[in-house]
């Protein structure tokens, strides 16, 4: 029995509709996969809930949370998150953004401002004490107690200088000079730094011309040497060795500072300001040193073959 033409047309339209339904379903699945990919790509942890509070979508970053957090700032472990909530029709969207770095920077700014204020307040009385020590030395001659006082004042002055430099920002004034010119200045500063162990200092700073801010580079190497002295003091060894060695490369002047003292306790926080694992120090020396070398378009690395640091200054 022949099918009427009207039914043939209906069957054809039905086949077309079924085929289009399959195509739409495939497009929907593809779109859903893209949407899930976008949600997974987001830097925030994300939950989407229906009107009954059931989770219908979430990304893998939500695994950091034991439960869906409330709105506001929350701390989980060492991280700080900003949790926000919004509603679209009958769906609730909750996001948790990691703001740990932002909060850390805010704290550092506050600490820097406070430290700079204290440094200004301390600077004048320390200057007066330094003058009085010099006058006493003229009257009393060489005296072990006065030398210890002078070393302590030198340490405070260095901390003040580092704090003010770090809080105000760096503006290097490069000029050409011989690397060997740093040696005498470094040897003089070592004399003012108090330590009890027998420490040998090995310098190799040849007559090679470099271009940098002399005072700032001197401060960097001083910081490295003083850290090395502290490491020797804190270790069980009886005799210390600190090496300040120049190394040449095609692109960089490299200054290596090595010591045989106590190993680094936590390499992850070495260059973080106001953090220190030493019994001495305020945690600014290495942080400031890194900023100074970065301002010269250079870099500082932890040495791999010996314990110490490598300073790279571009040629």
Q: What is the pLDDT of residues 212-265, one digit of tens each?
A: 999 889 989 998 999 999 999 999 898 999 999 999 899 999 999 999 999 988
Overall average pLDDT of the 280-294 stretch: 78
- Domain residue extents for the chain: 5-98, 99-169, 173-315
Q: Which residue has the higher pLDDT, 234 or 2?
A: 234
pLDDT value of position 294? 92
Pick 99-169's CATH classification: 3.30.10.20, 1.10.3720.10, 1.10.287.130, 3.40.1380.10.
Answer: 1.10.287.130
pLDDT value of position 53? 86
Poorest-pLDDT segment among 29-43, 199-213, 239-253? 29-43
- Decide if pLDDT at 169 tops 60: yes
**CATH 3.30.565.10 assigned to 173-315:** yes
Q: Which residue has the higher pLDDT, 79 or 284?
A: 79
pLDDT value of position 293? 94
Pick 5-98's CATH classification: 1.10.287, 3.30.1490, 3.30.450, 3.40.1620.
Answer: 3.30.450
Could you write out the three-class secondary structure of the chain? Answer: CCCCHHHHHHHHHHHHHHHHHHHHHHHHHHHHHHHHHHHHHCCCEEEEECCCCCEEEECHHHHHCCCCCCCEEEEECCEEEEEEEEEECCEEEEEEEECHHHHHHHHHHHHHHHHHHHHHHHHHHHHHHHHHHHHHHHHHCCCHHHHHHHHHHHHHHHHHHHHHHHHHCCCCCCEEEECCHHHHHHHHHHHCCCCCCEEEEEEECCCCEEEECHHHHHHHHHHHHHHHHHHHHHCCCCEEEEEEEEEECCCEEEEEEEECCCCCCCHHHCCCCCCCCCCCCCCCHHHHHHHHHHHCCCEEEECCCCCEEEEEEEC
């Amino acid at each position: 029995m022949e099918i009427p033409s009207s039914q043939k047309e209906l069957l054809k339209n039905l086949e077309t509709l079924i085929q289009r339904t399959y195509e739409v379903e495939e497009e929907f699945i593809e779109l859903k996969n893209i949407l899930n990919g976008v949600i997974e790509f987001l830097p925030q942890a994300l939950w989407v809930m229906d009107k009954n509070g059931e989770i219908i979508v979430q990304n893998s970053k939500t695994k950091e949370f034991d439960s869906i957090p409330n709105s506001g700032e929350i701390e989980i472990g060492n991280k700080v998150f900003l949790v926000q909530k919004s509603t679209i029709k009958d769906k609730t969207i909750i996001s948790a953004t990691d703001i740990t770095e932002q909060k850390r920077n805010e704290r550092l700014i506050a600490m820097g401002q406070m430290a700079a204020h204290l440094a200004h307040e301390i600077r004048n009385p320390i200057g007066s004490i330094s003058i009085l020590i010099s006058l006493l030395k003229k009257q009393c001659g060489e005296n072990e107690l006065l030398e210890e006082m002078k070393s302590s004042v030198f340490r405070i002055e260095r901390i003040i200088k580092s704090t003010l430099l770090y809080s105000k920002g760096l503006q290097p004034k490069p000029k050409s000079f011989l690397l060997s010119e740093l040696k005498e200045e470094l040897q003089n500063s070592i004399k003012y730094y108090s330590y009890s162990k027998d420490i040998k200092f090995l310098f190799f700073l040849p007559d090679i011309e470099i271009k940098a801010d002399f005072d700032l580079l001197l401060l960097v190497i001083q910081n490295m040497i003083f850290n090395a002295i502290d490491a020797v003091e804190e270790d069980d060894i009886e005799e210390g060795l600190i090496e300040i060695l120049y190394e040449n490369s095609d692109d960089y002047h490299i200054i290596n500072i090595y010591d045989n003292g106590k190993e680094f306790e936590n390499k992850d926080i070495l260059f973080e300001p106001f953090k220190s694992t030493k019994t001495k120090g305020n945690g600014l020396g290495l942080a400031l040193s890194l900023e100074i070398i970065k301002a010269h378009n250079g870099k500082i690395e932890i040495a791999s073959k010996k314990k110490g640091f490598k300073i790279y200054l571009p040629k």
